[in-house]
Amino acid sequence: MLPLIDTHCHIDLAVFEQNREQLLGSAWQTGIKAIVIPAINAADFDSLLAVAHTDSRLLAGCGLHPLYLKHHCEGDFERVAGLAATDTICAIGECGLDYTDKHSDKIAQQSLFTRHVALAAEFDKPLLIHANKAVEDVLLTVQKYPAARGIVHSFNGSLQQAQRLIELGYSLGFGGAITYPRATRLRQLVKQLPLQSIVLETDAPFQTGFTHSGETNQPAWLLEVLETVAEIRQQPAEEVAQITTATAVEIFSLEL
Ligand SMILES: [Zn+2]
């Protein structure tokens, strides 16, 4: 059994209410040693923390997701800031920029994201960054806070952007998207990047991999992501597990 860490998994969501314990059971059996749960909006903070408190292997993040910009209000960020100062959470996020909806308020997104990055730098907590059609602006923001670090999850930028993020101390998260044979550009990226800068994630219940396409994603299926990285890079899965897990352990200051 290979030691793995799911660095991005929304196991707190209501869709898992009926089978969460069972899915976590199979995740632990698969060799997963820790699961990082990113927050989406303030309404979910309490239930997320309640789920995270059930098992020391579940690590809570806290942040405001850019896709829910309209749902966030001023007091919400104060709650993120309050939690950031405590050991209750291990990461700041999910936060970031998403430009897929061209009507979304980019300035408001950037301002909210900047506040998260500043918080991460202040409290030395890793960021869980969402960057969709916005990697360049994410780079511009994180460049202003050299003390901040973390993961750009479900990375889908260019090799050059990946290299710039790595130089700034960030790691890149890859999940189910790389398991699709037609994802040639993404798979090429996984091949070219230093393994030390890659971390694995499921993003469950989203981004289900090729094998289970059409089903609700779950943390145990991180194994498919691992096997895909190993296959693309033609490296033993043991080596990929060991190195990507070591990177995640360092990011989240874990003791396995
Ligand atoms: Zn997410």
Write out the H or E segment, with its range, that includes residue 133.
Answer: none
CA–centroid distance, 38 to ligand 1, in Å, is: 6
CA–centroid distance, 6 to ligand 1, in Å, is: 12
| DSSP state letters, 195-250 | GGGEEE---TTSS--STTTTSPP-GGGHHHHHHHHHHHHT--HHHHHHHHHHHHHH
* Residues near 224 by beta carbon (within 8 Å), at least 6 away in sequence: 176, 179, 209, 210, 211, 212
CA–centroid distance, 130 to ligand 1, in Å, is: 7
CA–centroid distance, 86 to ligand 1, in Å, is: 22
Query: 208-222, pLDDT tens digit by residue?
Result: 999 999 999 999 999
Please, what is the average pLDDT of the chain? 97
CA–centroid distance, 203 to ligand 1, in Å, is: 6
CA–centroid distance, 204 to ligand 1, in Å, is: 8
CA–centroid distance, 65 to ligand 1, in Å, is: 8
CA–centroid distance, 230 to ligand 1, in Å, is: 23
- Does the pTM surpass 0.95? The reply is yes
CA–centroid distance, 197 to ligand 1, in Å, is: 19
Give CA separation, 132 vs 42, 53, 254, 255, in Å.
21, 30, 28, 32
Q: How confident is the model at residue 112, as a pLDDT?
A: 97
Taking Cα atoms as reference points, which of 160, 153, 150, 161 lies closest to residue 178? 153
CA–centroid distance, 9 to ligand 1, in Å, is: 7
CA–centroid distance, 201 to ligand 1, in Å, is: 10
Q: Is the dihedral of CA 161, 124, 11, 3 positive or negative?
A: positive
Query: 21-71, pLDDT tens digit by residue?
Result: 999 999 999 999 999 999 999 999 999 999 999 999 999 999 999 999 999
Q: How confident is the model at residue 156, as a pLDDT?
A: 97
127, 150 contact by CB (below 8 A): yes
Query: Which domains are seen in the chain, by residue range?
Result: 4-251 (3.20.20.140)
CA–centroid distance, 238 to ligand 1, in Å, is: 26
Q: Which residue reads 């398991």 in tokens?
A: 179
CA–centroid distance, 117 to ligand 1, in Å, is: 17
The pair of structure tokens assigned to 228 is 């895909």
Give CA separation, 221 vs 175, 205, 216, 217, 225, in Å.
10, 11, 10, 7, 7
pLDDT higher than 90, residue 163 = yes
CA–centroid distance, 129 to ligand 1, in Å, is: 9
CA–centroid distance, 128 to ligand 1, in Å, is: 8
Write out the H or E segment, with its range, that includes residue 31.
Answer: none
The mean pLDDT of 200-229, rounded to a whole number, is 98
Q: What is the CA radius of gyration of the chain?
A: 17
The mean pLDDT of 173-199, rounded to a whole number, is 98
**Angle of the 106-123 helix axis to the 135-143 helix axis, nearest 10:** 40
